[in-house]
Structure 1
Amino acid sequence: MGFIYNIGIHLAHFGLKCAAPFNKKIKSGIVGRQETFSTLKNHLKTTDKTLWFHCASLGEYEQGLPVFKALREHYKSHKIVLSFFSPSGYEIRKNSPIADVVIYIPLDTKTNANHFLDLVNPELTVFVKYDIWPNFLNEVKRRKLRAILISAAFRENQSFFKFYGNQLRDALFAFEHIFTQNETSKKLLQSINHNNVTVSGDTRFDRVSSQLSIDNTLDFIEVFKQNKLCVVAGSTWPEDESLLVNFINSEASKDVKFIMAPHNIKSSQIKNIQEKLNVESVLFSEKENKQLENAQVFIIDTIGILSKIYSYADIAYVGGAMGTTGLHNTLEPAVFGVPIIIGNNHSKFPEAQEMIDGGGMFSISNQKDLGIILNELIQNNQKRLLAGKNNLKYIETNKGAVTRILAYLKL
């Protein structure tokens, strides 16, 4: 199995190199990985004490951030290496203040694993969720370096639990302890005899809760909103935007404001949304010297401020589940105590079903569903407020993962 995996890694890398000229994201990853070792050599000395944090992408980074911050504060004299697999994570967080060095994780070969660990030699390694790299982790284990996995979430159909998943399964034993999001994940790990497991919950609840302790004021949103009821649609895709634009054009009262923050902020996509709207709209990039209060739709064609914008929502719509791209972060609006609408493809997101069951989230399948739910939430103050309170209660009930992890590390 190990031989097959290693051949597969090289074949995958070859395929990515072939695709790189035609895909900007893939090209960024290829180029970035070529610079990893030189970056490490330039920033680390053999005498440095280090920690290594690894995340697949931006979502895992946000998930691990509360733990990263606590470790940063405790290990003040250590240098922290933060690695990403995905360009979307690296590009957005390459200047993260919690790390001294931010890099792409190299190709998962035995040679790279040895070279990487010779340079980094981490006192503690923290992986987030389930981005498992067998050659790296087996070398971590061979060197008897400390490593933990946090916010882990496993499903029975994953390779770890199949007869052919020996190498991936063995890599899990590099982690001296695994902190899972739920009891199901713990039982799956125990089924392969990994018993150093704690159900700590999901660190994302702690992460989003911290949003309430910062200043979320955005003056331009206040000017736009004008104390009117506001629907914030975050991380939307074309299939979401089509439904929302149709609702705004045909059903929405002029007394209701809409903020749309598309996942894709390419100018062509933004222009397409704006051209289909029959009401006045304004772009974030063009907001200066505009009468924001006169617009009914505010289109956010930038990144990094959505979590603050949700604080102005009376109702939230979170994109990704109307198609197959995957539901985006629903906990971000939930912490502000607002009801949430999503699409119907959410089976891989247990928090969505839990909020639906709790009465704070509503799943739709088509334009008619959106109209019924959205109109009801707009017109029925009591239902809207109760649904929002249910979501906030859900967040409060599930906090505490970070405390449990730090207790294990004795911090």
Structure 2
Amino acid sequence: MSFIYNIGIHLAHFGLKCVAPFNKKIKSGIVGRQDTFNILKSNLKPTDKTLWFHCASLGEYEQGLPVFKALRDQYKSHKIVLSFFSPSGYEIRKNSPVADVVVYLPLDTKTNANQFLDLVNPELTVFVKYDIWPNFLNEIRERKLRAILISAAFRENQTFFKFYGNPLRNALFAFEHIFTQNENSKRLLESINYNKVTVSGDTRFDRVSSQLEIDNTLDFIETFKQDKLCVVAGSTWPEDESLLVNFINSEASKDVKFIIAPHNIKSAQIKNIQEKLTVKSILFSEKDNEQLQTAQVFIIDTIGILSKIYSYANIAYVGGAIGTTGLHNTLEPAVFGIPIIIGNQHSKFPEAQEMIDNAGMFSISNQNEFNVILDDLIKNKQMRLQSGSHNSNYIKNNLGAVTKILRYLEL
């Protein structure tokens, strides 16, 4: 293990502790990690058989969930330990029914890795996508424990493939098998002589497809929407909301309904959206005291229901790519067979480019482009239905990653 890497981990921890008093999210992670070992000691016995699932954050959890559920069903006598690195994953899924114990992953030091694995001693470890921690993984390898990486996506400019990337590169060899999203990731792994690779595809397709099998009914959305065309804007940031508000105020017909589900549901941001709108809007938190059908804009100031709300959309806008925050999940609306609009900063999201190439998704870079595309989709039903059909077919054509992973594990 690189001496420089270990020094860097300790310096990073010191830096986070200094920043924590001024950043609620970082503070949550610092405080939460202090409780990890006590939680494990309280919930696990040395005789317990366990599986360990690790995700960086909420997105990776949703990505791995179909595999987690299948393993949960198969290993009924095992206890499942689920760990997160980010507070945004832990805080939302700390009561996940797929796990018996949910914790923050401790800082990646050799001491922490030893103590964690002494307590958990997993029969199988599943990491999702990219959260690679060398000390933990090297300790897994030294103990000859089973570990796999699923839905992995690699790019040539990542540290794994640089001359200075030995700690991270060597950690990959702790995995007995890696399941990649695409052929390019497989080629990159083979370039560093890692050859136990299967191109399984992305488990997110299986995850979002399962949304079609559940009841997505939301009575309050039906009351709001009635029989009118509905645009759902999900996971928006201020720069996204500016586009939407400007369109609604100056371009939108009164016969079109809008649902805005901000990524950040802090009251100040929600208030800012409402103050800028010149049409009637209602908040989710106030819906029981309002006549929903009389509003043109419904602002969702809560979390956990966006995937169901997309089922009511005729057109979707997904936030994050008009600025620098990162594009949010575009597969969630795509599964419902609707056209999608996004910003132009989507180079790290191959599924977005593939849907653009399939004419199911539209990328915009400014207010004028947004207005033109959204207006076209609102007025042109054939364009809307055809684009949505392309997205639905795209999801169907990419199913099967979970089956390939479970087949390898002989389930």
Q: TM-score, normalised by structure 2?
A: 1.00
Instruction: Give the distance between the partners of 1:167 and 1:15, measured in 2 at CA.
Output: 21
Question: What's 1:318 paired with?
Answer: 318
Instruction: Give the distance between the partners of 2:347 and 2:166, measured in 1 at CA.
Output: 27
* 5+ residue gaps, structure 2: none
Instruction: Give the distance between the partners of 1:375 and 1:35, measured in 2 at CA.
Output: 52
Whichever residue aligns with residue 68 of structure 1, its letter is F
In the TM superposition, residue 289 of structure 1 has moved relative to its aligned partner by 2.5
In the TM superposition, residue 128 of structure 1 has moved relative to its aligned partner by 0.2
Question: What's 2:241 paired with?
Answer: 241
Instruction: Give the distance between the partners of 1:92 and 1:180, measured in 2 at CA.
Output: 27
Q: Deviations over 1:292-339 (max 9, x none)?
A: 000000000000000000000000000000000000000000000000
Whichever residue aligns with residue 42 of structure 1, its letter is S
Instruction: Give the distance between the partners of 2:144 and 2:172, measured in 1 at CA.
Output: 14
SS of the aligned residue for 1:106 comes to coil
Instruction: Give the distance between the partners of 2:164 and 2:196, measured in 1 at CA.
Output: 23
The within-5 A match list for 1:5-404 is 5-404=5-404
Instruction: Give the distance between the partners of 1:56 and 1:390, measured in 2 at CA.
Output: 31
Over the residues paired in the alignment, what is the CA RMSD in angstroms? 0.5
Instruction: Give the distance between the partners of 2:292 and 2:115, measured in 1 at CA.
Output: 54
* 5+ residue gaps, structure 1: none
Instruction: Give the distance between the partners of 2:20 and 2:379, measured in 1 at CA.
Output: 50
Whichever residue aligns with residue 246 of structure 1, its letter is N
SS of the aligned residue for 2:289 comes to coil
Instruction: Give the distance between the partners of 1:2 and 1:80, measured in 2 at CA.
Output: 31
SS of the aligned residue for 1:388 comes to helix
Instruction: Give the distance between the partners of 1:12 and 1:36, measured in 2 at CA.
Output: 19
Instruction: Give the distance between the partners of 1:371 and 1:30, measured in 2 at CA.
Output: 43
Instruction: Give the distance between the partners of 1:334 and 1:52, measured in 2 at CA.
Output: 31
SS of the aligned residue for 2:288 comes to coil
Instruction: Give the distance between the partners of 1:347 and 1:132, measured in 2 at CA.
Output: 22
In the TM superposition, residue 227 of structure 1 has moved relative to its aligned partner by 1.0
Instruction: Give the distance between the partners of 1:337 and 1:85, measured in 2 at CA.
Output: 33
Overall identity of the aligned pairs, in %? 84
In the TM superposition, residue 352 of structure 1 has moved relative to its aligned partner by 0.3
- Deviation above 2 Å: which 4+ runs of structure 1? none
Instruction: Give the distance between the partners of 1:375 and 1:342, measured in 2 at CA.
Output: 15
SS of the aligned residue for 1:76 comes to coil
Instruction: Give the distance between the partners of 1:89 and 1:376, measured in 2 at CA.
Output: 37
Number of matched pairs: 411
Whichever residue aligns with residue 400 of structure 1, its letter is G
Instruction: Give the distance between the partners of 1:289 and 1:15, measured in 2 at CA.
Output: 46
SS of the aligned residue for 1:288 comes to helix
Instruction: Give the distance between the partners of 1:168 and 1:224, measured in 2 at CA.
Output: 50
Q: Deviations over 1:217-265 (max 9, x none)?
A: 0000000001100000000000000010000000000000000000010
Whichever residue aligns with residue 396 of structure 2, its letter is E
Q: Deviations over 1:74-123 (max 9, x none)?
A: 00000000000000000000000000000000010000100100000000
Instruction: Give the distance between the partners of 1:291 and 1:166, measured in 2 at CA.
Output: 61
Instruction: Give the distance between the partners of 2:352 and 2:203, measured in 1 at CA.
Output: 16
SS of the aligned residue for 2:282 comes to strand
